[in-house]
A and B are shown apart, each in its own frame.
Chain A
Amino acid sequence: GAGVSQTPSNKVTEKGKYVELRCDPISGHTALYWYRQSLGQGPEFLIYFQGTGAADDSGLPNDRFFAVRPEGSVSTLKIQRTERGDSAVYLCASSLNRQGNQDEQFFGPGTRLTVL
């Protein structure tokens, strides 16, 4: 079956512009995570959705970052007034998140964001 997909695969933008990054999780997966990964670093947690709601958004670095998941499937990460420091690979992961089980996360290939 299809895995987690992310679009676009690459995004180049100018400082100060607005960008949207999309994540299509595996069908039926209720849990969805966004991470940011800089070169040579591990993924950095941004936000976790359980269904349509953001259960934990403590990793969002500031109010320029926002994410939605209106129908409990596709999610969009939105970044306003982009800065050069926002350049990174943005990863999305989904899991079944069955009650009481730590289900494995399935990661997408990521979106490489470059802010010039």
Chain B
Amino acid sequence: EDQVTQSPEALRLQEGESSSLNCSYTVSGLRGLFWYRQDPGKGPEFLFTLYSAGEEKEKERLKATLTKKESFLHITAPKPEDSATYLCAVQASGTYKYIFGTGTRLKVLA
């Protein structure tokens, strides 16, 4: 069964304290792995798509990496405005269905 597990569930960082969020997945052929950011009361906002092991993408203070079993979202020198829930999702080959993890709630303290 296709599955996505995110850790930790919650993370508190001081402003400027870099860290990584983990997304472990089991899927019968990966079509794509996706990272989203979700603010309270809003829909998820797209961040990155990764397609194959070894791929990396960056956007401002965020960098996403992918291996055959997991993906990491690295946050460098975070700011309070980076506080949000970060969601990971996978799409298996031959399907358009997206499977989401439960997310990591990130709080960055000033």
User: Of the 9-residue stretches A14-22, A37-45, A63-71, A76-84, which lies at the interface with chain B?
Assistant: A37-45
Q: Which residue of B lies closest to A102 (CB)?
A: B32
CB distance from B84 to the nearest CB of A (A): 13
Query: Main SS of the interface on chain B?
Result: strand
Per-residue B-contact encoding for A44-82, CB less than 8 Å = 1, 0 else:
110010100001101100000000000000000000000
CB distance from A51 to the nearest CB of B (A): 13
Q: Give the docked Cα–Cα distance between A98 and B98 (Å).
A: 17
Q: Give the docked Cα–Cα distance between A81 and B90 (Å).
A: 32
User: Of the 9-residue stretches B13-21, B56-64, B69-77, B100-108, which lies at the interface with chain A?
Assistant: B100-108
CB neighbours (8 Å) of B42 from chain A are 109-110
Q: Is the CB of B46 within 8 A of A58?
A: no
CB neighbours (8 Å) of A35 from chain B are 100
Number of interface residues of B (CB under 8 A): 24
CB neighbours (8 Å) of A43 from chain B are 44, 87, 89, 98, 100
CB neighbours (8 Å) of A109 from chain B are 41-43
Number of interface residues of A (CB under 8 A): 26
Q: Which residue of B lies closest to A110 (CB)?
A: B43
Chain A interface residues toward B at CB < 8 A: 4, 31, 33, 35, 40-45, 48, 50, 55-56, 58-59, 91, 93, 102, 104-110
Which 4 pairs from chain A and chain B are nearest by CB? Answer: A107-B43, A42-B100, A104-B46, A102-B32
